[in-house]
């Protein structure tokens, strides 16, 4: 929602300040879908607001719900006709997390990712980012879905640190007690390892969680499948992690998508262990092994047995690791599957 516009409109109408508080609560906390639902406002003013201010900066087009009911993906048409996707996931009963997009497409070109295949179109504005959260709030309310909307993860389409100006503004709005009021620790940002971004988040939002999409513990392989490794290789990531730890003393999550016969051998595990052990304070690192979610392409997920063997090998070398359950695969709404197509 164009919040600045709303504030200006209220000022021009000489509305008392408490009217803005009423609107903020209704929209950002309660998830109303239109001003006409805010019955505490004078009727004439509700109508004027509905005419003048769009609560959402896009039009929801197609919704898909996973068979287990724990993931919902929505295709959103932006005002310039471009598309993005966002996903709502229930990691535990009664808990909801939103996975938001920060760009249309992605310039990083990771070979195993559906978003990367489509190339980069443009950055999203902070309004388009926070409206994804407003949309999910409205969805939960409209569909009478109970539970707590507790987490936001920047793991949808795009590399958040390549759009930091808008992403950081959206984090400010999400954590603003007068707007959404999410706790900083309930927000996570995931990056392929952009050093400047890691430095900025450590300085500006030390309480927001950081995840690094590592996927390989060996530079040669990482460069082969993730072109960004030529600019931000493992040594660069190691230095970024050390700086982050010095500034925040907070945990970092390393994400590792498991691809059959590509990064799931014992040699791959040894490379990963070597990389992790080379980092000071590596007790602050936690590794998430993620099943690869198939997109059309040449990659195949590692088997469950292989993932367990890989995990057990790492555990036996005292690496902090879990296998993270991936939700929404059947609706192409899982990690790496968002393509923003209608
Ligand atoms: S994995 Fe992330 S960084 Fe890589 S192409 Fe996909 S969206 Fe971009």
Residue 295 has pLDDT above 90, yes or no: no
CA distance 69 to 210: 28
Contacts of 165 (CB under 8 A, 6+ apart): none
Q: Look at ligand 1, atom 7, and give the residue with the nearest C-alpha.
A: 158
State the pTM of this model. Answer: 0.94
- Regarding whether 116 and 12 lie in a shared domain, the answer is no
Read off the pLDDT of each residue in 42-71 and give the average, rounded to a whole number: 92
337 inside domain: no
Write out the two tokens for 232: 């931000």
Structural domain of residue 9, as residue ranges?
3-52
Question: Is 335 assigned a catalytic role?
Answer: yes
- Regarding whether 226 and 319 lie in a shared domain, the answer is yes
- Ligand 1, pocket-test mutation among 107, 114, 156, 158, most atoms within 8 A of CB: 158
For 188-255, give the DSSP string: EEEES--HHHHHHHHHH-TTSEEEEE---SSHHHHHHH-GGGGTS-HHHHHHHHHHHHHHH---EEEE
Q: What is the pLDDT of residue 246?
A: 97
Question: Is 85 assigned a catalytic role?
Answer: yes
- Regarding whether 229 and 123 lie in a shared domain, the answer is yes
DSSP, res 180: T
Residue range 160-199, pLDDT digits in tens = 999 999 999 999 999 999 999 999 999 999 999 999 999 9
- Regarding whether 63 and 41 lie in a shared domain, the answer is no
- Regarding whether 275 and 325 lie in a shared domain, the answer is yes
State in Å: Cα 106 to ligand 1 middle: 6
Q: Which of 7, 52, 85, 294 is catalytic?
A: 85
Residue range 234-291, pLDDT digits in tens = 999 999 999 999 999 999 999 999 999 999 999 999 999 999 999 999 999 999 999 9
Confidence of residue 114 (pLDDT cuts 50, 70, 90): confident
Ligand 1 binding site (Cβ under 6 Å of any ligand atom): 106, 108-110, 113, 115-116, 157-159, 192, 213, 336
Task: Report the number of distinct structural domains present in the chain.
Answer: 2
């Amino acid at each position: 929602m164009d919040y600045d516009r709303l504030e200006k409109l209220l000022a021009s109408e000489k509305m008392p300040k408490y009217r803005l508080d009423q609107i903020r609560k209704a929209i950002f906390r309660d998830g109303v879908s239109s001003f006409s639902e805010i019955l505490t406002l004078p009727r004439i003013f509700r109508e004027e607001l509905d005419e003048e201010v769009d609560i959402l900066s896009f039009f929801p087009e197609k919704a898909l719900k996973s068979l287990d009911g724990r993931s919902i993906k929505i295709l959103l048409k932006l005002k310039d006709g471009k598309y993005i996707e966002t996903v709502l996931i229930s990691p535990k009963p009664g808990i909801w997390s939103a996975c938001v997009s920060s760009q249309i497409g992605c310039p990083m070109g990771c070979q195993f990712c559906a978003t990367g295949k489509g190339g980069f179109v443009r950055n999203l504005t902070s309004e388009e980012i926070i409206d994804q959260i407003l949309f999910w709030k409205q969805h939960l309310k409209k569909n009478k879905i109970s539970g707590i909307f507790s987490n936001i993860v920047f793991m949808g389409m795009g590399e958040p640190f390549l759009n930091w100006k808008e992403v950081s503004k959206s984090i400010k709005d999400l954590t603003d007690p007068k707007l959404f009021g999410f706790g900083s620790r309930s927000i996570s940002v995931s990056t392929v390892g952009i050093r400047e971004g890691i430095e900025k988040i450590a300085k500006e939002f030390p309480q927001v969680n950081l995840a690094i999409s590592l996927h390989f513990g060996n530079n040669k392989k990482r460069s082969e499948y993730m072109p960004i490794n030529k600019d931000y290789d493992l040594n660069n990531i190691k230095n970024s992690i050390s700086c982050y730890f010095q500034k925040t003393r907070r945990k970092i999550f390393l994400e590792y998508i498991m691809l059959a016969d590509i990064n799931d051998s014992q040699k791959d595990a040894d490379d990963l262990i070597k990389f992790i052990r080379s980092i000071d304070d590596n007790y602050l690192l936690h590794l998430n092994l993620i099943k690869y979610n198939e997109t059309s392409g040449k990659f195949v997920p590692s088997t469950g047995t292989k993932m367990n063997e890989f995990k057990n090998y790492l555990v036996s070398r005292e690496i902090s690791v879990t296998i993270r359950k991936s939700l929404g695969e059947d609706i192409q709404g899982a990690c790496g599957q968002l393509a923003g197509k209608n």
